[in-house]
Structure 1
Amino acid sequence: MSAARRTRRPPRFYFSLRSPYSWLAYRDLLEHHPRTAAALEWVPFFEPDELSAKMLAEAGGAFPYTPMSAEKHRYILQDVRRLAAARGLSFSWPVDRDPVWEVPHLGYLAAARHGRGPEYIALAARARWELGQDVCDRRTIAGFGAELGLDAEELACASDDPELRAEGVRVLLDIQRDGVFGVPFFVDHYDKYWGVDRLPAFVAALAANNPRLAPDPGEPAPLDGAEVRVDDGHAGGCG
């Protein structure tokens, strides 16, 4: 048996800085399941721009896309406010103007290669969902540089870096291989869980196979009945 076949890939959390439900799952992971959060491979899920789509097609891949109706968008506004309030989270709905999702997500890859991925996500999530800032604005991403101790231009211009573009396409191919159609999405080998309400089941399944991931008695319990899965109908924001 080859080494590739013997090596099992770590469990994965597909997240998107575009999706409010992904943000809620992120907060739940850190607050209620920190051991699991630390054990996961965090993979960005983003709608490709024209260049990434071309590179993806040339690599034999495709990206799932489902347009969202105005009625669904209005519902999500209400739903996310309810779920955020139940968690005691401050929430500000951002306004996206001509977004290019490579800007924040390849910025994450740039931070991750310096070992600062988790801190980057914390800053980007706060900027978008608590402060209502445009994370597709390179100036917003550049502002993370000082707090992370990283070069601001490297973060802000990550989408111009050919190596990070290529890495982004590899991520998009992983999305297709894992059958990811929305976020938050959790994968462990052949088992898949979609939506913030599936997080407890995912955590329990991991703990059953790995006792070190069992919840600590001192960890706060997840909110009862506060997790509701909703398909918000656009790329990068389902669940």
Structure 2
Amino acid sequence: MARKPPRWYFSFRSPYSWMAYRDLIGRYPDVAESIEWLPFWEPDDHHNEHLAQNGVQLPYVAMSREKHLYILQDVRRLARERGLEMVWPLDREPRWEVSHLAYLVAEEHGRGREFIDRVYRARWQDGLDISDPEVIAGFGPELGLDPELLGGAAADPAVRERGLAALAALHRDGVFGVPYFIDGFEKFWGVDRLPGFVASIRGRAAARTAGVAG
């Protein structure tokens, strides 16, 4: 069986995923260019129903008040360490399909990385509501993408089918949170595990180079 490429699962919802993204592109651009980028999100009821019909149950657990308060403190601390100015968005009626399915559209048109950067900036630095289709559509002109395709992704049956495939993939990979990094059989969960993931990938690359040179 062929070895799957190294990959990481990101989510626009997670501040830890946002920081992992910043670390990945800022500190480890060689690794960022050599891995697959895959979205992770909490599906809506319709997607959940289809997943359940296919025996897929994603491991989502409600967050306790104590954990929420800890995350507020921890994220501020990590942002200061990175010199990041951030805001904490208010998710009144979150619909994570809106942004993550729009990513699939942007990725299909070769603008996935730019879309990720724009959405992370919108959510964690500008405080915009990325569950609003109009907000997502508004990124279209600056990214060279059709606003209607982005804003309407969550309602497009074909894109929703691709979303189901993406959710099934993270289920097969055993992903239970983000950021989540996979290199072969090695799995790394959390922004603080990114250096280990990088070392694993670079170590294999160095071994291949040494083998060729030898």
Aligned length: 209
Question: Cα–Cα, structure 1 residues 43 and 213, in superposed 2: closer, same or farther, change >3 Å?
Answer: farther
Aligned sequence identity (%): 55
Name 1:66's counterpart in structure 2.
Answer: 61
- What secondary structure, in the 3-state scheme, does the structure 2 residue paired with 1:173 have? helix
What are the residue-to-residue correspondences of 1:122-201 with 2, within 5 Å? Answer: 122-201=117-196
What secondary structure does 2:181 align onto? strand
Give 1:111's aligned residue: 106
TM-score, normalised with respect to structure 2: 0.94
Q: Deviations over 1:119-139 (max 9, x none)?
A: 000000000000111111111
TM-score, normalised with respect to structure 1:
0.85
Superposition deviation, residue 191 in structure 1: 1.1
Partner of 1:229 in structure 2? none
Of Structure 1 and Structure 2, which has the larger fraction of its residues in helix?
2
Moved runs in structure 1, 4+ residues, more than 6 A? Answer: none
Task: Identify unmatched segments of 5+ residues in structure 1.
Answer: 215-239
Please give the alpha-carbon distance, in whole angstroms, between the structure 2 residues aligned to 1:69 and 1:112: 34
Which amino acid is the alignment partner of residue 30 of structure 2? R
Q: Distance in 2 between matches of 1:8 and 1:165?
A: 28
Contact preservation (8 Å) 1:207, 1:213: no
For 2:106 and 2:53, the matched residues in 1 are separated by 27
Q: CA deviation at 1:211?
A: 2.9
Please name the residue that 2:212 is paired with: none
- What CA deviation, in whole Å up to 9, does each residue of 1:69-111 have, x standing for no partner? 1121111111111100110111000000111110000000000
Of structures 1 and 2, the one scoring higher in RCO (CA 8 A, sep 6+) is 1
User: Where do 5+ consecutive residues of structure 2 fail to align?
Assistant: 210-214
- CA offset digits 1:166-192 (Å, max 9, x no partner): 111111111111110000000112110
Contact kept in structure 2, 1:36 and 1:213, CA below 8 Å: no
Shift of residue 146, structure 1, vs aligned partner: 0.6
**Aligned mate of 2:89, from 74, 79, 94:** 94
* RMSD between superposed Cα atoms in Å: 1.5
